[in-house]
Chains A and B, each alone.
Chain A
Amino acid sequence: SQTIHQWPATLVQPVGSPLSLECTVEGTSNPNLYWYRQAAGRGLQLLFYSVGIGQISSEVPQNLSASRPQDRQFILSSKKLLLSDSGFYLCAWSLGRTGGYGGELFFGEGSRLTVL
């Protein structure tokens, strides 16, 4: 069966510090991968998605970046965090089928980031 792991679960970082959140998927090949951010009391905002190794699409201009160094690994990074980067970050995956019919979106447990 497929599983998705995301870490760290929580972190508190000072403004201006770097960030690295990691996500790995097991039990499937060539998944589509996603990073979402959820501010308190809000819906999920799509940040990045990837349909293959090294292929990253950015949805929202910001000081975050994403990378996919391996088929089932997705990393969210920042060189210098802002207060506005605080939130709940979710990694997710769907089947990587031709034409984009991914079906159900499966989520990791999330990473809660507080920037002070």
Chain B
Amino acid sequence: EDKVVQSPLSLVVHEGDTVTLNCSYEVTNFRSLLWYKQEKKAPTFLFMLTSSGIEKKSGRLSSILDKKELFSILNITATQTGDSAVYLCAEEGTYKYIFGTGTRLKVLA
């Protein structure tokens, strides 16, 4: 059965800190690994990763995938209070997207 595990479950940091969020997966017929940010309502898309070792970057956020070890990380540098949210990782298999339980990040001013 496809499975996605995220760690840590929650994290509290101060503004300016760097955080690393982890996502491991077990899936048959892997298609892609996706990261989302969820504040109050619907998740918003951050990254989609399909190839191993290629970093995707958007401002202070970056992510990389390791298809051999079956994991991905999401890095956020110079955190801001606006980064406070739940970060969700999902793997795309054949027609299905399985999500992890998420990492709740709180950034203190």
Contacts and interface: CB of A to CB of B under 8 A. Distances in A.
A103 B95 CA distance: 10
Interface string A24-52: 00000000101010000111111001010
B88 A44 contact: yes
Nearest to B100: A43
Given A44-B88, A107-B42, A100 B95 contact: yes
B95 A32 contact: yes
Contacts of B95: 32, 49, 51, 57, 100, 102
Interface in A79-116: 90, 92, 94, 99-110
Given A34-B97, A43-B88, A101 B41 contact: no
Interface of A: 32, 34, 36, 41-46, 49, 51, 57, 59, 90, 92, 94, 99-110
A9 B33 CA distance: 29
Contacts of A45: 99
B101 interface: yes
24 contacts: A32-B95, A36-B99, A42-B101, A42-B102, A43-B99, A43-B102, A44-B43, A44-B88, A46-B99, A51-B95, A92-B97, A100-B94, A100-B95, A100-B96, A101-B31, A101-B92, A102-B31, A103-B48, A103-B92, A105-B90, A105-B92, A105-B97, A109-B41, A110-B41
